[in-house]
Amino acid sequence: VNRDAVVSIGILALFLVATVALGLRAVRRREHNMIEWSVGGRSMGLLLTWVLMAGETYTSFSYLGAAGWSYTNGISALYVVAYLSVGMAVTYLSGPLLWSYAHRHGLHSISDLVGHRFSSPLAGAVVAVFATIFILPYVQLQITGMGVVVATISYGTISLGVAYLLAFLVSEAFVLVSGLRGSAWVSALKDALVVLTLLVVFVWVPVHYFGGYGELLVRMSATHSAWLTLPGPANRELGVGWFISTSALNAVVYSIFPTSVAGFLGARSPQILRQNAVVLPFYQLLLFVPVLLGFASVLVVPGLKDSNLALFTLITHTLPAWLLGVVGAAAALSSIVPMAVFMLVIGTMWTRSMPRWGGGERDERAQRRFAQLITLLTGVVALAMTYLLPNALVRLSVLSYEGIAQLLPMTLLALLWRRLSLVAGLCGLVVGVLVDVTLVLLGRDPLGGINAGLIGLAANLLTAAMVTRLRPADTPDELLAMPEPRVPLAAGH
Amino acid sequence: VLRELLHGRRSLLWLFGPPVLFLAAVPLVNRVEPTVLGMPLFMAWLILATLLTPPCIWLAARRDPLWRPGWQVDVNGADSGHAGVDR
């Protein structure tokens, strides 16, 4: 073990210990009931909501994947910025809507919400299982991401297998005890580290290799101009139509994605969510950094086999060991925080939507224990899959957003659509998933330049509308969304 | 239901800003030349769009009857104005 490895591993270890300590400290003097654990007692202010939502959107994909994507496919990587920004405009409306509904009826997750809207616990259970299938791959992706980071910054001293286990242990350690509030506190540490390290690397890389950004972009334009527009150098499919349809779909899906909903429901009031929609988009500026670094890697280290290593290949042998340790800690936390929230959301959905197993309607402590058990099991399954079938789940993760998209009619629209019945919603869901999965399996995603999930959603909506026409439901007012009470505006506003 | 929710909230039209910038405009700006401050046009456009997104949402918010003036929010959730079952 060389001296550099000791230094960078030491710094990473320090931050991981701090993470667990911070996560555990977050819930001192807090009640030990289900609502406190699953949605932070619906009491988080703007700052905690902001760091949590930012923390969820900035995953290990942003660190490794975005740089890797721009390395291989060019600027289309920025579809992430497009859908998150448009998504913020959507959440300005959908966040408060979901918050108010959940608050009024005492709900903790989207499966809970579906069960309540259709007065059918079974519908809630179906959504819980369905969502789990599409979120589990994300948990595994985070474990894999963390493994790559730790193995790289330890200069190969720590093996991938050990690093996977480390990701699992650290995230479970705080989320089991501290739930959503703990995740938000850890997010604060993570966001600080991410901003700091990206700014340092952002300045340092171009100066070190090119003498500045101007030179980097001039050289890109001269020799690699295909990287700077859609569809990019490698895949004709990633054209303008793909960019627009994917960003539009993901923007809407973002606002019902189970982990975003956990963030919404943790807020103290709908006003917090509106404020968050105004300030969070600034955070997306950070996503330009890994994309630019992907470009730098194209020029400096072309021909890598694993594009996800583009960013770290660029900095491993040129940054001092201690700084590499800090960058590694930021990247590791970018895996750990989203992973913890993903697992927590699965635990919450199963508990609340399967009350027979989940400790019954009344016993909050039993509910919480069951949710913790599911959260642990989720991590164990994802870890086992990482070791045994590393590729199966990663393939499924491509489907994640497109799959969750098919829940749109039954979750968000159902609160606005009085005549939508459970049968119509389920028919739409089945058709939407079938269309999407078929297209993906046939290798027809995108189809004619349009995201297959969007095509599936169109089929889904059409089916739901047709069944609704044949057999409309008459949902009582109290199960639909209600306008928020309005306060008179103060003078001068 | 939707009509009730949106009644009297015309400023929310500003929420169409980000989709116009990030989606509708893409076919027009998907090119390298002309460069802006040394940046290829498409990248410069996306940075501009990212910077303009918060102002768009802020313009929607500030005339929204549901927006509470000021950024200070009452601690006990009284600002939500809701009678919730789990508070």
Q: What are phi and psi of A399, to 5 degrees?
A: -85, -10
Q: A40's torsion region: left (phi>0), alpha (psi -120 to 50) or beta?
A: left
Which tokens is A156 given?
Answer: 């190969």
pLDDT at B35: 83
What are the pLDDT digits (tens) for A352-411?
Answer: 888 766 555 667 778 888 888 989 999 999 999 888 877 665 566 668 889 999 999 999
Instruction: Determine the pLDDT at residue A392.
Output: 63
Q: What residues does A44 pair with on adjacent strands?
A: A267
C-alpha A347/C-alpha A382 separation (Å) is 14
Torsion angle of alpha carbons A375, A380, A383, A384, nearest 10°? -150
Q: What integer is the mean pLDDT of A457-480?
A: 92
Band (A88; pLDDT cuts 50, 70, 90): very high
Q: Which chain B residues are closer than 8 Å to A269 by Cβ?
A: 73, 77, 79-80
- Provide the pLDDT for residue A395: 63
Interval A253-266 mean pLDDT: 91
Helix axes A160-210, A3-25, angle to 10 degrees: 110
- Residue A274 pLDDT level (bands cut at 50, 70, 90): very high
Contact B77 A269 (CB under 8 A): yes
* Nearest chain A Cα distance for residue B82, angstroms: 7
Nearest to A375 by CA among A403, A395, A402, A346: A346
Q: Which residue out of B26, B28, B50, B73 would a mutagenesis test of the A interface target, given it has the greatest number of A Cβ atoms within 10 Å?
A: B50
Mark which residues 1-30 of B lie under 8 Å from A by CB.
Answer: 1-2, 4-5, 7, 12, 15-19, 21-24, 26-27, 30
Which of the residues A249, A278, A474 would you substitute to probe the B interface, choosing the one with the greatest number of B C-beta atoms within 10 Å?
Answer: A278
- Note whether A480 contacts B1, CB cutoff 8 Å: yes
Query: Which of A46, A86, A413 is the best substitution to test chain B (most B C-beta atoms within 10 A)?
Result: A86
Residue range A223-247: mean pLDDT, rounded: 87
CA-only gyration radius of chain B, Å: 19
* CB of B87 less than 8 A from some CB of A: yes
CA pair distance A181, A23, nearest whole angstrom: 8
Please state, in angstroms and rounded to a whole number, the distance separating the CA atoms of residues A140 and A394. 8
**Is residue B51 less than 8 Å (CB to CB) from chain A?**
yes
DSSP A411-432: HTGGGT-TT--HHHHHHHHHHH
Taking contacts as CB-CB distances below 8 angstroms, the residues of chain B near A484 are 66, 81-82
In a 13 Å sphere around the CA of A200, the CA atoms on its Cβ side amount to 14
Q: What is the DSSP letter of A477?
A: G
pLDDT digits (tens, 9 = 90+) for A420-464: 999 999 999 999 999 999 998 888 888 888 999 999 999 999 999
Q: Which chain A residue has its CA at the smallest distance from B70's CA?
A: A493
CA angle A273, A276, A279 (to 5 degrees): 160
Residue A222, CA distances (Å) to A157, A229, A269, A371, B47 in order: 40, 13, 51, 55, 21
B86 vs A contacts (CB less than 8 Å): 35, 42, 103, 106
* Chain position carrying tokens 């001039």: A218
Q: Does B53 touch chain A (CB under 8 A)?
A: yes
Q: What is the ipTM of this complex?
A: 0.87
Distance in Å, alpha carbon of B8 to nearest chain A alpha carbon: 11
pLDDT for the residue numbered B42: 93
CB contact under 8 A, B32 and A229: yes
Q: Kindly report which listed range (A178-182, A214-218, A310-314) carries the lowest average pLDDT score.
A: A310-314
Residue A437 structure tokens: 């999965």
CB contacts < 8 Å between A and B, how many?
175
Beta-carbon neighbour count of residue B7 at 10 Å? 11
Confidence of residue A65 (pLDDT cuts 50, 70, 90): confident
- Provide block-wise average pLDDT over 10 residues at a time, chain B (87 residues): 84 92 92 86 94 94 82 45 42
Q: Cβ B26–A489 below 8 Å, yes or no?
A: no
Place of tokens 């950004």: A213
Amino acid A490: pLDDT: 47
The shortest CB-CB distance from A278 to any of B7, B61, B68 is to: B61
In terms of Cα–Cα distance, which of A212, A169, A126 is closest to A23? A169
Residue tagged 């982990």 (tokens) = A259
Please name the residue that has the structure tokens 């201690």.
A322
Q: What is the pLDDT of residues A306-364, one digit of tens each?
A: 777 788 888 887 788 888 899 889 988 888 888 888 998 998 888 888 876 655 566 77
CA distance B34 to chain A (A): 11
- C-beta separation of A436 from A491 below 8 A: no
Which tokens belong to A276?
A: 């968050």
Helices A258-266, A321-353: inter-axial angle, 10-degree rounding: 90
Predicted structure pTM score: 0.88
Contact status, residue A70 vs residue A311, Cβ threshold 8 Å: no
CA distance B1 to chain A (A): 5
